[in-house]
């Protein structure tokens, strides 16, 4: 029989196992608030709870709602400690400042108190889970002052579970308290809300978050730049937990010292440089370079949707800089300088127009069969708008009798060679040529409509039937829409007019000041002729003699 343990034989000495190092605890758990003083940004709620406890007006059910990471579950645990604290000497009562050293406080903080039951509604959604609570509340607490049920993400309970809980929730035994937490309070039935004292936990302001993260970094012995703390606080979007997770990641990324540049790189904000370059090309109006940049981005695996969202974000940053005059700490110094320059150079109408064009482009990209093609077309469409002058400046110039600003030349329009002859006008009937102005442009709006109608009947019909003339000063044309037009009407009309005349036309649409459309003028003329005919003595004599007679048509006797 082989030797074995317990037979008195010598065995080789076993090495002593080294003590296991304590597992690392993430900052979000390590610095979870253990008192109401440590709960930042929720002063109104703390004041209300303090007054309720001091005056012994403690509700039987509380509901905490708010975005992720603002302290809903932490608040529920603090309330449980506040209600069950007995003080260091064991003789204390409910207090807004739990001692943290008595047995109930320590057990609740460690999650092992038998009378404080914490459950996740996402995994206990059914009526059977609620039935267990309903049965248990009948029995007194084992050692604590109150038996407390903390239900996280309570909106995940089923309708049947909510209904089963209603009666108990409305009239619980005096030794039972319910604490609910949810991020989607609109999904909680009104019948439940009406039985709870509700606290809306607010997003934490970025300045307060940055200060809080700075104190934690100091406790951890980590040096973090102020700008880096500000960036993390902004990226956290009001959530303490999200911010601490980002701070944890930044410390792992940067080591003992964390810089703003490293945080931007960690968050992917450095990729904004590509979007920034794309926006510059867009504003320059260089269609060829724009397409090349889009091809390069596609080759690197950048999604068209991400590019469009990045451009919208850049325009939003320019607009905020223009409105407030303040820089965005989320961006590098170079990007802040570029944004400030664009905010100075761009007018509000241009910013608004580009925003709408890019927003529509994003929708096109999200729904198009080929997102890449949709992005190309959307940005090429935006190039045309980027070169247009400020409509307000054009209107002001026309009103004051000055020459309106012309569209900015774009690099997508090839410049004619110095020795190239002027572009020849398309062949038109001799009578039409005779009516042309010396500059080779239609002499008036009617001539312009005739020219367009010959080449593009659909545009000609829109010009004749759906717009009223505000002013005609070729190659500038201001119109008032009288009916619904295609969103690309002005651009298509300008392109067609340029093709036919060789001149760069500026087509502006405004919501007032237009004459009747040409179609309306035809109707008005016919109505005037009819009224004149009916007023003729001979016609009037006939209609008087024959009351049922009607005027069918008017013919020229000549």
Residue 92 structure tokens: 């204390």
Tokens of 482: 């009288």
pLDDT of 155: 92
pLDDT tens track for 258-276: 888 888 778 766 566 678 8
Judged by average pLDDT, the poorest of 51-55, 309-313, 345-349, 489-493 is: 345-349
Does 13 score more than 80 pLDDT? no
pLDDT for 1? 47
pLDDT computed for residue 150 by the predictor: 94
pTM of the model: 0.57
Residue 236's pLDDT is 87
The confidence band for 253, taking pLDDT boundaries of 50, 70 and 90, is confident
Q: How much is the pLDDT for 417? A: 45
HEC per residue, 384-423: HHHCCCCHHHHHHHHHCCCCCCCCCCCCCCCCCCCCCCCC
Please indicate whether residue 139 or residue 328 has the higher confidence score (pLDDT): 139
Residues β-bridged to residue 152: 120, 181
Q: Which of the two residues, 336 and 228, has the higher pLDDT score?
A: 228
Contact indicator for 11, 5 with CB cutoff of 8 Å: yes
pLDDT at 149 > cutoff 90? yes
* Residue 285: per-residue pLDDT: 82
Among candidate residues 94, 98, 86, the one with its CA nearest the CA of residue 36 = 98
Handedness of CA 278, 280, 284, 289 (dihedral sign): negative
Beta-strand runs (E) in 74-212: 116-120, 147-152, 176-182, 197-200
Residue 154 has pLDDT above 90, yes or no: yes
By the 10 Å C-beta count (0-12 exposed, 13-18 middle, 19+ buried), 265 is classed as middle
Q: Give, in words, the CATH class of 269-386.
A: mainly alpha
**174-192 pLDDT tens trace:** 999 999 999 999 999 999 9
More confident residue, 159 or 397: 159
Distances (CA, A) of 123 to 25, 129, 163, 437: 25, 10, 18, 80
Could you give the residue ranges of the DSSP H alpha helices within 203-271?
A: 206-219, 226-236, 240-254, 260-266
Q: Which whole number is the average pLDDT over 351-372? A: 89
Closest CA to 553 of 523, 525, 526: 526
Domain ranges of the chain: 27-200, 206-266, 269-386, 430-515
Q: Report the share of the chain in percent with pLDDT over 70.
A: 80
pLDDT at 388: 57
**CB count in 10 Å sphere of residue 380:** 16
pLDDT at position 425 over 50: no
User: Tokens standing for 231?
Assistant: 């960036």
Strands (E), 68-195: 116-120, 147-152, 176-182
Q: Do domains 206-266 and 269-386 have the same CATH topology?
A: no
* Residue 422: per-residue pLDDT: 41
Burial 394-430 (b: 16+ CB within 10 A, else e): bbebbeeeeebeebeebbbeeeeeeeeeeeeeeeeee
Q: Which H or E run contains 61?
A: strand 61-65
As a CATH number, domain 430-515 is 3.30.300
Which pLDDT does position 400 carry in this prediction? 62
Helix (H) or strand (E) holding 473: strand 467-473
pLDDT, tens digit, for every residue of 36-61? 888 888 888 889 988 998 898 889 99
Dump pLDDT digits (tens) for 439-460.
578 888 998 999 988 888 888 8
pLDDT 10s digits, 164-174? 999 899 888 99
pLDDT given for residue 6 in this prediction: 45
Look at residue 271 in the predicted model and tell me its pLDDT: 61
Q: Please state which of the ranges 113-117, 186-190, 346-350 shows the lowest mean pLDDT.
A: 346-350
The pLDDT of residue 162: 92
Cα(first)–Cα(last) distance of the chain, in Å?
A: 138
- Whether the pLDDT of residue 116 is over 90: the answer is yes
Give the fold, CATH level 3, of 27-200.
Answer: Rossmann fold (3.40.50)
Q: Measure the CA–CA gap between 234 and 320, rounded to whole angstroms.
A: 15
Is residue 9's pLDDT more than 70?
A: no
Q: Among 220, 229, 215, 216, which Cα is nearest to 258's? A: 229
**Is 206-266 in CATH node 3.40.50.300?**
no
Q: What is the mean pLDDT of the chain?
A: 81
Q: How do residues 535-551 score in pLDDT, each as one tens digit?
A: 777 667 666 666 666 76
pLDDT tier at 427 (50, 70, 90 boundaries)?
A: very low
Q: Greater confidence, 114 or 534?
A: 114
């Amino acid at each position: 029989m082989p030797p074995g343990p317990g037979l008195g034989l010598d065995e080789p000495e076993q090495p002593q196992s080294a003590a296991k190092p304590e597992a690392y605890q993430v900052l979000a758990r390590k610095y979870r608030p253990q008192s109401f003083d440590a709960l930042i940004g929720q002063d109104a709620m703390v004041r209300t709870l303090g007054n309720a406890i001091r005056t012994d007006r403690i509700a039987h059910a509380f509901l905490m709602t708010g975005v992720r990471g603002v302290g809903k579950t932490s608040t529920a645990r603090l309330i449980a400690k506040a209600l069950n604290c007995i003080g260091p000497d064991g003789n204390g009562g409910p207090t807004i400042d739990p001692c943290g050293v008595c047995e109930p406080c320590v057990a609740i903080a460690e999650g092992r108190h038998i009378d404080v039951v914490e459950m996740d509604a996402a995994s206990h959604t059914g009526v059977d889970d609620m039935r267990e609570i309903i049965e248990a509340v009948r029995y007194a607490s084992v050692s604590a002052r109150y038996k407390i049920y903390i239900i996280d993400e309570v909106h995940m309970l089923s309708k049947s579970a909510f209904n089963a809980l209603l009666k108990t929730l409305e009239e619980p035994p005096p030794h039972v308290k319910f604490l609910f937490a949810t991020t989607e309070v609109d999904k909680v039935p009104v019948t439940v809300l009406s039985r709870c004292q509700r606290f809306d936990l607010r997003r934490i302001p970025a300045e307060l978050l940055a200060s809080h993260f700075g104190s934690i970094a100091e406790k951890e012995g980590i040096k973090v730049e102020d700008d880096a703390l500000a960036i993390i606080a902004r990226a956290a979007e009001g959530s303490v937990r999200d911010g601490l997770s980002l701070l944890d990641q930044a410390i792992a990324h940067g080591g003992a010292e964390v810089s703003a540049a490293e945080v931007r790189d960690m968050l992917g904000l450095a990729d904004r440089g590509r979007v920034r370059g794309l926006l510059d090309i867009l504003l320059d109006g260089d269609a060829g370079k724009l397409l090349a940049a889009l091809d390069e981005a596609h080759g690197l695996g950048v999604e068209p949707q991400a590019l469009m969202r990045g451009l919208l974000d850049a325009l939003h940053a320019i607009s905020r800089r223009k409105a407030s005059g303040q820089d965005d700490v989320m961006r590098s110094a170079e990007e802040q300088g570029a944004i400030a320059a664009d905010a100075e150079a761009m007018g509000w109408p241009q910013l608004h127009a580009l925003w709408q064009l890019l927003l529509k482009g994003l929708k096109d990209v999200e729904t198009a069969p080929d997102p890449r093609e949709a992005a190309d077309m959307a940005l090429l469409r935006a190039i045309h708008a980027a070169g247009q002058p400020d409509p307000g400046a054009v209107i002001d110039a026309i009103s004051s009798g000055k020459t309106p600003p012309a569209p900015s030349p774009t690099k997508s329009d090839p410049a004619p060679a110095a020795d190239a002859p002027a572009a020849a006008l398309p062949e038109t009937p001799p009578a039409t040529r005779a009516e042309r102005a010396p500059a080779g442009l239609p002499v008036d709006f009617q001539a312009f409509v005739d020219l367009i109608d010959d080449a593009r009947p659909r545009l000609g019909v829109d010009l004749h039937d759906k717009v009223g003339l505000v002013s005609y000063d070729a190659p500038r044309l201001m119109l008032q829409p009288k009916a619904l037009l295609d969103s690309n009407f002005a651009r298509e009309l300008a392109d067609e007019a340029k093709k036919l005349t060789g001149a760069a036309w500026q087509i502006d649409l405004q919501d007032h000041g237009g004459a009747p459309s040409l179609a309306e003028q035809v109707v008005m003329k016919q109505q005037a002729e009819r009224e004149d005919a009916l007023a003729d003595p001979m016609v009037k004599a006939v209609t008087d003699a024959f009351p049922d007679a009607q005027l069918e048509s008017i013919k020229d006797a000549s």
